Chains A and B, each alone.
Chain A
């Protein structure tokens, strides 16, 4: 067996790497200064502050991290990334945690995960998002009869302005099929 194949065979026997490992790599140099917490517009609604979250990531407290809403409340304003004195990609680290929650279908994050997944379902079908179709898919997936009501008045206003339409575009071709397929193949083979 050549050395490369031997190395691969050896690696295949190892347990899968901890899901947090790539996120730990991103925040390893964190000095716990709290600039991220002080800069975060959504910190007031979080159960753990961003600073604390990075420490939890480094300590590998997977269960506690994925019981917390902190990363799912990141609205990608990039203040923490801009101001971090260590230059860490903190917004991306929040995204990485969202990606893990989506990949593992964690029920706590069901609402935001369904929101994002149904957005991309519409994009995959037509190449562009059809806002009305996407919201219909999202509400159907939530299976909660009352959640659309919060948005109904806005939906009606937008329809009256002809900004959204109930008509779903009839598209035969799915222009992004190869891209979605190739990304899935590449990510699955990591």
Chain B
């Protein structure tokens, strides 16, 4: 099983553990990731707030590089914002006449061209549907019995394109959580917004959204995420929020491949567990017992 791999900028910096754990889990099931050569930024939330065309041209460059190897048909993208930006190019060029030509004129000077041949796939889609519980269940070495896990999907892997999950009531993570022996924390906040990059420009509003999510996760042993922006917003401000609302809202927040990797017996180092910002002592004691 081969995939083009588009890590995206966050996975080189603040989300390094998402990159490490994605690579480790995919390697452990024998999937090969071929990193897109000289990949570049997808534009994040910045390009679409400044220029319609730039927001499509930046991800298009990466699709064009991937298309140079047509024998690999799918691109694996772990970051939900990158996923949506890349996916938008694929969707829009199919619907908007003339757009493909315009993008190709923009890419021409770099000797690049897109035809819309490559499939953009989110990591969660690949874990749940290409690999699935039947792949993981027999590989579980350290079951997560007695753990309650809150699956947090965020927005952009679900909406606006309903590709692999119900965008209103997402559930793709649940069989995976159960396959490693854990219980799913029942809540309805899994697809709600964390405020995304507003944490930097309108912090108080985002803190309000994150507070509701952390409150909803009470009773769970950990939240799992599939997006660097969600992960950062949920893990980095717990102390501030707990102080603000005089309520202990500290909770472990892990990337989904970190949780699966732990269950498969991969080392904490290989999964970058020391890089997370909010692993509670209680959670550490639980996984070491």
Contact = CB atoms under 8 A, between A and B. Distances in A.
Contact of B41 (A44, A123, A178, A186): A123
A187 interface: yes
Given A115-B201, A129-B44, A164-B14, 12 more contacts: A41-B193, A42-B193, A76-B48, A79-B193, A117-B50, A119-B46, A120-B47, A151-B200, A157-B277, A163-B275, A178-B109, A183-B106
Interface of B: 9-10, 12-14, 16, 38-41, 43-55, 57-58, 61, 102, 105-110, 155-156, 158-160, 162, 167-168, 192-193, 195-198, 200-203, 205-206, 208-209, 236, 274-275, 277
A127 B50 CA distance: 17
Interface in A171-190: 175-176, 178-180, 182-183, 186-187
26 contacts: A41-B195, A42-B205, A76-B48, A77-B155, A79-B159, A79-B193, A96-B52, A99-B51, A112-B201, A113-B49, A115-B200, A120-B43, A127-B40, A128-B41, A129-B41, A131-B14, A157-B236, A157-B277, A163-B16, A163-B275, A176-B41, A179-B110, A182-B57, A183-B54, A186-B102, A187-B53
A158 interface: yes
A98 B49 contact: yes
Contacts, number: 161
Interface residues of A, number: 52
Nearest to B202: A73
B53 A186 contact: yes
A163 B16 CA distance: 7
Contacts of B201: 111-112, 115
Q: Is the interface of A mostly helix, strand, loop or mixed?
A: helix
Contact of B205 (A45, A129, A131): A45
Contacts of B193: 41-42, 75, 77, 79
Contact of A76 (B57, B102, B196): B196
What are the 6 closest A-B residue pairs judged by CB atoms, nearest first? A78-B159, A77-B193, A178-B109, A119-B46, A116-B46, A77-B155
B106 A119 contact: no
B38 A120 contact: no
Contact of B159 (A75, A82, A132, A157): A82
A128 B106 contact: no
B216 to A, nearest CB: 13
A154 interface: yes
